[in-house]
Each structure stands twice: as C-alpha cells, then as structure tokens.
Amino acid sequence: MIVQVFPSGPFETNAYLVACPYTNRCAVIDPAPGCFEMIKRSIKEKGYLPQTILLTHSHWDHIADTEKFKQLYGCPVYIHPLDTPNLESPGADQLPCWISFPGMKADGFLVEGTEVCVGNLRFSVIHTPGHSPGSVCLYCQEENILFSGDTLFKGTIGNLSFPTSCPDLMWPSLKKLAILPKETIVYPGHGPSTVIKSEPWLNNAKDLFEHL
C-alpha cells in the first residue's frame, strides 16, 4: 500500500491518498478543505486511477473538498449511514463552520463488517461511534494498517463534547481497536501516526477520558 498524507485546512486535518501499487487504483480518505489541488497533482504525477472517496465521518473538516473530487473523477462517495445527514446538509451537526461547500448524497455505505476494495487492497469497516454517530475506522489486515479518523489519535481520542457525540459509545469502540494486532500502524484524522502497541490505555479509556 502506498500512503500519502496531506494535512489540510484550519485544523490540519489529515487527508489521505491511498494507492494499490499493483493496479494503480487509488482512494481519497477524508478530503479536508484545501487538499484538492495537492492530491490532484499527486494523482496526475503518479498516474493513479481514482476509484473511490472514503469518509471516516462527516464533520466539515473531513469532507469539505469531497464534491471537488466527485466532480472531477466521478468517484463514488462512501460513508456510514448514521453520518449521512451532515454530508447531505453540511452544518446539520451544529458544529461551527466558517466555509461554504455543497452537500451531496452518498453513493454507498461503510457498514460494520463489510469490505471496501481499492485495487487489490481490502479494507474492513469497523464502526466506531463516539466522536460522531457514524464514525468508522478502515482496517487493512494484509498491510496491518488502520485509518482511524477522529476515533483514535496518538495518545488520545477524538472530541466527545460535540452535539452529536456520544461518550458512552466511544469506550466500546476503542476496545474494538485494542484487539487489533499490536504492530498495526494507525493513521489518524489529525496529528502523527502511531501503532496499537503504543496505545496500551485503549481498554481503560473511559477511566482516563470520561471527565475531560
């Protein structure tokens, strides 16, 4: 798997370009505001064939450039059903947002236990509600790689104070990640990558974070 990260927008959200080296097929994960031109340039330079757009959740700093990729490449957009309201009507989640971008309907859904393919790469969908109702992580077992969105960061977790967040759902979500192989590389929605073995607190996250 080829992974490129493009920190973009006011919160340095990690937009990812993920490519299969055998087929040149690629996916954009979480098209953050301001990432479009950089990723478009990389796709052209490397001769990638855009296949899909995958959204770990629908907060505006993760979806703002989605429509630009959809218009240019015609790629289907996938998200968990519970996060579709904010994709279709940005701002429905009541988060403050000072940029304007169009809403859209999803072309397909990222549901727990299903797989999505990018060329020869296979990603299992892990539903990890908490930060948002439809937050998901994308796990490639063959490559030992996880894209965690805003569920898990290096040393911490996503904000649980937003209007649609649900802290009580975050703790079992993190326990799902705790059982992944310890060498799994985690690419989060913000900040640097980590590995599961470096986050031994996952099973006890409630004790650490529920009062923050």
Write out pLDDT tens, residues 38-93: 999 999 999 999 999 999 999 999 999 999 999 999 999 999 999 999 999 888 88
Q: 149 φ, ψ to 5°?
A: 55, -135
Strands of the sheet containing 49-54, edge to edge, are 2-8, 13-19, 25-29, 49-54, 77-79, 108-109
Element (H, E) at 13: strand 13-19
Number of domains in the chain: 1
pTM, whole model, 2 decimals? 0.96
Predicted confidence at residue 168, as pLDDT, reads 95
Q: Give the residue-averaged pLDDT of 169-196.
A: 98
Q: For 101-116, give one letter per residue: b (16+ CB within 10 A) or e.
A: eebbebeebbeeeeeb
- Look at strands 121-127 and 152-153 and give their pairing: unpaired
**Average confidence score pLDDT of the chain:** 95
Predicted confidence at residue 212, as pLDDT, reads 58
pLDDT confidence bin for 96, thresholds 50/70/90: confident
Query: Domain of 12: which CATH number?
Result: 3.60.15.10
Q: What residues make up the domain containing 161? A: 2-209
